[in-house]
Every structure is written in structure tokens, then in C-alpha cells.
Chains A and B, each alone.
Chain A
Amino acid sequence: MVENPMYSTAVGLILHGQKNLRDQGVRRISRRSGFPWVFGKVRSLFGKSDD
């Protein structure tokens, strides 16, 4: 377990998301990809993903 004050906000947002998931069942669409860098490059080049 690590305490790092630099990431308090980001972790807090994740905790908020976790609560949302539990309370409201928000959809999750972050998919595991075999070629994650490809999606990142596409996003960088064209601004938006292709979905």
C-alpha cells in the first residue's frame, strides 16, 4: 500500500466511479486490447476513436 499525494484527485475520481458503478450500475466500456498502442496512435492522429 502506497500513499502518494500527487494522485489523490485521480484516485478519488476512481473511487467515485467505483461508487457510481455500485449504486447506479454505470456502463463500462474500457476494453482490454491486444494492441493498445494502436488505439492510442489512432486517437492521437485523428483526434477521435473510430467507434
Chain B
Amino acid sequence: MSSYEEDVLVAIDIGTTKICCLVAEQTEDRGLNIKAIGSAPSVGLSMGRVIDMGATVNAICKAVEDASEKSGYDCQSAFIGIAGEHINGIKVRGSVAVRTGIVAQDDVDRAMKSAMIMNIPSNCQVLSKIPLEYHVDDLVGIVNPIGMRGAKLEIFVHVFTVDSNSFDDLRQCVDDAGLQIDDVYLESIASAEAVLTPAEKQQGVALLDIGGGTCDMAVYVNGAIHHIHEVALGGDYLTRILSTALNISWETAELLKLSHGCCHEGLIDEDYGIDVASLDGLNTVNVGVSNVCQILGKGVQNIYGHLSNNLIQSGYDDVVRNVVLTGGTSLLMGMPELGLEYFNRQIRVGGPNFRGAMAEWSKTPCIPPPWA
């Protein structure tokens, strides 16, 4: 294997509405050079669970083929993301005596092993275990205890478990698509790693990854992941309520959302009408942009409301200082403005910084509204 091959990474984001395959090369300075982004519509998943294995396999194949053609690489293995309500986070604690009086890797490993002595439901398996902090004797809040002097080491770990059947179904789909899996990672944490700054994670931040089918929330406090939550509401939900309220087809509503969508009335300077196809496709219907905005605004408020309630119920409402929006639906005009009013916190739309041949191409993923 040449060193050139070792510098290529492939990731597949298996979403509810689209499957995205990204091929990247590592640059000499440890940066990333995105070589290609392949995508295909996803129809075989619901809420992160596979509901049609054949359709999912086909969509993965198409996205990978697309990325292979664009990049010139034959993608044979990939890092896979997983999301869904079937993923649970549990915080556990482990404790050991430090053998030599100076904390070594072996002590950390034993502490982790001690923490992992826990009852996991028979239908679940551990997806990942993320250390939150260490205590050495009475000293708390330690990020890396190795080399520190003390008699007792404690570790606090956030363990994420996943429903075994859902997990295995997803793995099987990737396998059937002819790909080996390098690793499976929690999507909400992956997004956070790409979007959040260390300072935001330290201060307390809620990342809202609003995709087509779902919205994943990840809460970081003191630099570590503390809470995740997912709701089955996203861009598709907004399209659906627009379609129902205006009595137009889903496709017409989606186009209307992408071309003239806005969810904050303060951003619309003047109301005007747009002719769109009627439900039967034989006539046109004139709809006002302010009407579209009101409908989308109510939908977005509903999404924000679910997440806000979960923040309060989980006890993290007081420690979250910032909100960061990401995911395709965060591009809808007015999302940060409405979020600012709803959450009353610093809010921004964030995406990953990357370089490469596809960077310019990927700059405009949807049709911008006329006033953008």
C-alpha cells in the first residue's frame, strides 16, 4: 500500500432524505482536501432506522458511485454515521487505585473498564464511550490525568448505546453495497466536531443539526458532550405543512420552500404573489410570500419548541450559552433570526471549513431566495 492511498478518507452520511458520500485527501499540513461529494436520494430510512434494505443499499451504491466517478478513487471502505431515537446516552463513573502513585495509561484503562461494568439491555450494544473528565484524589475537572500524582483515579464517561438490530441492519446495508466499514460514529458528535469551536464547547452550546427528516441536538458543556436528543422533524416536515396548508403537491411545496422560503416575517420587505402549480397540475395558484413565511415560521417554531422543551427537561437549559444551527434546513432564510427570538441566546449558522476541488461547487446547495 502506498502512502498516497493511506491519505484518502471516505465518509458516508446515511440520512433520512439523502445519502452523502465524501472523499477527502489529507494534505501535508493535516488539512483536508475534499476530492468529491457524491449524493443520492434516500428512501429506505425512517428516523435513522432502515425500513427498506434494498432501497438503502441502492442509494448507498449510487452515492458511492457518484463520489468515485468524481474523485477517481475506488471507495472500498468508509466511516459511517449513525443517528436515531434508538441511541441512548448514559453517564457512568469508574474508580481505581493508582498503582505506582503516578497515573499511567494502565490506570486510565482500568478506570474505564471499571466504569463499563454496567447493565446494558440485551437488545443494545455500546456504540462509543467518551471520557467527560477525571478526578485524581480531590482534584476535579482533569482532562488528561496521565503523569499526575495521586492515590485514587476516577473517570466519568458518557456511554452511547444503540439498538443492536438497527445497528446491524445499517451495517448489513453498507456491507451489501460492497463497502467495508472503518468505523461507525454518532452523527450528532461528528457534526459537532466539524462545526463547533473549542471555546463554544467550553462555554456551553447546543448544536442543532436540522436535516431533511430529523433534527439532532448535541449539548456540550465544559468541552465535553453531555446530552443528545433527536426529533423526527426537519425540512421534510416544513415541506409537508406547506403542501397541506396551500393544497399543493409535495414537489411544488418543496420547490416553493427552496426558491421563496423564509420563516421570519421581519426579513420580507414587501409581500408579493407567486404562481405555483395547483394540486392537479392543470392550473396555477397564486400564493403570497408572507403566507408562505407564516406557515414555515409556525413549523420552525414547532421544531424549536420540541428542542427547547427537551433542553429544559434535561436540565441543560441554564448552562447552554450559545446555539449553533447546521444541516441543510439551517439554510432556510430566517432560521437564525427566529432562533434568536426563540432561544434568546447567541445563535449562528455553522458549517465545516474545507478546501478542495468540490468546495466551490458545494457553495450553493439550493436555489437562493430572491432577496438573498
Interface set of A (CB-CB < 8 Å, partner B): 1-18, 20-21, 26-33, 36-37, 39-41, 43-44, 46-49, 51
Instruction: Determine if B9 and A14 form an interchain contact, defined as CB atoms under 8 angstroms apart.
Output: yes
Q: Does B75 contact A (CB under 8 A)?
A: yes
Instruction: Determine if B187 and A5 form an interchain contact, defined as CB atoms under 8 angstroms apart.
Output: no
Instruction: Determine if A9 and B209 form an interchain contact, defined as CB atoms under 8 angstroms apart.
Output: yes
A4-B362, A8-B351 known; A15 vs B193 contact (CB < 8 Å): yes
Instruction: Determine if A5 and B190 form an interchain contact, defined as CB atoms under 8 angstroms apart.
Output: no
Instruction: Determine if A33 and B195 form an interchain contact, defined as CB atoms under 8 angstroms apart.
Output: no
A8-B194, A15-B193, A48-B176 known; A32 vs B72 contact (CB < 8 Å): yes
Instruction: Determine if B8 and A2 form an interchain contact, defined as CB atoms under 8 angstroms apart.
Output: no
Tally B residues with Cβ within 8 Å of A. Answer: 77
A5-B327, A12-B352, A21-B9 known; A43 vs B72 contact (CB < 8 Å): no
Kindly state the separation between the CA atoms of A1 and B7 in the bound complex, as whole angstroms. 20
Instruction: Determine if B350 and A3 form an interchain contact, defined as CB atoms under 8 angstroms apart.
Output: yes
Report how many A-B pairs have Cβ atoms within 8 Å.
Answer: 217
Within 8 A of A (CB), among B283-338: 325-328, 330-331
Kindly state the separation between the CA atoms of A46 and B177 in the bound complex, as whole angstroms. 9
Determine how close the nearest CB of chain A comes to the CB of B80; give it in whole angstroms: 7
A7-B22, A16-B185, A29-B5 known; A43 vs B61 contact (CB < 8 Å): yes
Q: Which residues of A contact B13 (CB under 8 A)?
A: 7, 9-10, 13
Q: Which residues of B contact A17 (CB under 8 A)?
A: 9-11, 79, 182-183
Instruction: Determine if A6 and B331 form an interchain contact, defined as CB atoms under 8 angstroms apart.
Output: yes
Instruction: Determine if A39 and B74 form an interchain contact, defined as CB atoms under 8 angstroms apart.
Output: yes
Which residue of B22, B77, B175, B176 contacts A14 across the interface (Cβ within 8 Å)?
Answer: B22
Kindly state the separation between the CA atoms of A47 and B174 in the bound complex, as whole angstroms. 10
Interface set of B (CB-CB < 8 Å, partner A): 1, 4-13, 15, 20-24, 26, 30, 32, 34, 37, 57-58, 61-62, 64-65, 68-69, 71-81, 175-180, 182-183, 185, 187, 189-195, 209, 325-328, 330-331, 349-355, 359-360, 362-363, 365
Kindly state the separation between the CA atoms of A1 and B359 in the bound complex, as whole angstroms. 7
Can you list 18 pairs linking A and B with CB atoms under 8 Å apart? A1-B359, A2-B362, A5-B350, A7-B351, A7-B354, A9-B15, A11-B354, A12-B195, A13-B12, A14-B11, A16-B79, A16-B185, A20-B79, A29-B76, A30-B9, A32-B5, A33-B72, A39-B68
Shortest Cβ-Cβ A-B pairs, 6 listed: A12-B190, A40-B65, A13-B11, A12-B194, A3-B351, A11-B352
A2-B354, A10-B37, A44-B62 known; A30 vs B10 contact (CB < 8 Å): yes
- Taking A13-B190, A14-B22 as known contacts, 7 extra A-B pairs with beta carbons closer than 8 A to each other, sorted by chain A number, are A8-B190, A11-B194, A12-B191, A28-B1, A32-B74, A36-B73, A41-B65
Kindly state the separation between the CA atoms of A39 and B10 in the bound complex, as whole angstroms. 16
Instruction: Determine if A5 and B326 form an interchain contact, defined as CB atoms under 8 angstroms apart.
Output: yes
Q: Which residues of A contact B58 (CB under 8 A)?
A: 44
Instruction: Determine if B362 and A29 form an interchain contact, defined as CB atoms under 8 angstroms apart.
Output: no
Per DSSP, chain A at the interface is helix
Kindly state the separation between the CA atoms of A25 and B104 in the bound complex, as whole angstroms. 22
Kindly state the separation between the CA atoms of A2 and B189 in the bound complex, as whole angstroms. 20
Determine how close the nearest CB of chain A comes to the CB of B267; give it in whole angstroms: 18
Instruction: Determine if A44 and B326 form an interchain contact, defined as CB atoms under 8 angstroms apart.
Output: no
Instruction: Determine if B350 and A12 form an interchain contact, defined as CB atoms under 8 angstroms apart.
Output: no
Q: Which residues of A contact B73 (CB under 8 A)?
A: 30-33, 36
Instruction: Determine if B32 and A14 form an interchain contact, defined as CB atoms under 8 angstroms apart.
Output: yes
Kindly state the separation between the CA atoms of A36 and B69 in the bound complex, as whole angstroms. 6
Instruction: Determine if A31 and B177 form an interchain contact, defined as CB atoms under 8 angstroms apart.
Output: no
A8-B194, A8-B326 known; A47 vs B11 contact (CB < 8 Å): no
Determine how close the nearest CB of chain A comes to the CB of B254; give it in whole angstroms: 15
Instruction: Determine if B65 and A43 form an interchain contact, defined as CB atoms under 8 angstroms apart.
Output: yes
Determine how close the nearest CB of chain A comes to the CB of B361; give it in whole angstroms: 9
Q: Which residues of A contact B182 (CB under 8 A)?
A: 17, 20, 26-27
